[in-house]
């Protein structure tokens, strides 16, 4: 049975001024799979995730959902395609119940 790559990125790079915080990251996630990014503090896990969901833009590289290039797509388009982010930190919804948020 052929495995379908649903979310992938190739060569993601992010720099802040002259500091490279993510360098040439490539990931392939098959449909229906759950993955985790592991590494020490400051390794670029959060920055990589933020680039995938569209919170920040990558300086180099490409992000795909299937065959569709979503590198420059805004968060709401990525969310419609199934890529989204729910922070664990307190948010503007902290006074609402979970039921009211969704």
Distance between CA atoms of 101 and 10, rounded to whole angstroms?
A: 34
The answer to whether the beta carbons of residues 67 and 42 sit under 8 Å apart is no
Domain limits, the chain: 5-101
Predicted local distance difference test score (pLDDT) of residue 5:
65
Residue 102: band (very low, low, confident or very high) from pLDDT cuts 50, 70, 90:
low
At 70-101, the pLDDT tens digits run: 999 999 899 888 888 777 766 666 666 767 66
Tell me which fold the domain 5-101 belongs to. Rossmann fold (3.40.50)
């Amino acid at each position: 049975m052929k495995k379908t790559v649903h979310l992938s990125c190739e060569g993601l790079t992010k720099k802040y001024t002259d500091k490279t915080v993510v360098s040439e990251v490539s990931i392939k996630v098959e449909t229906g799979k759950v993955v985790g990014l592991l590494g020490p503090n400051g390794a670029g896990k959060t920055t990589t995730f933020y680039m995938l969901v569209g919170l920040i833009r990558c300086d180099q590289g490409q992000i795909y959902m299937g065959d569709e290039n979503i590198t420059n797509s805004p968060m709401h388009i990525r969310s419609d395609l199934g890529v989204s982010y729910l922070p664990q930190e307190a948010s503007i919804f902290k006074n609402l119940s979970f039921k009211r948020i969704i």
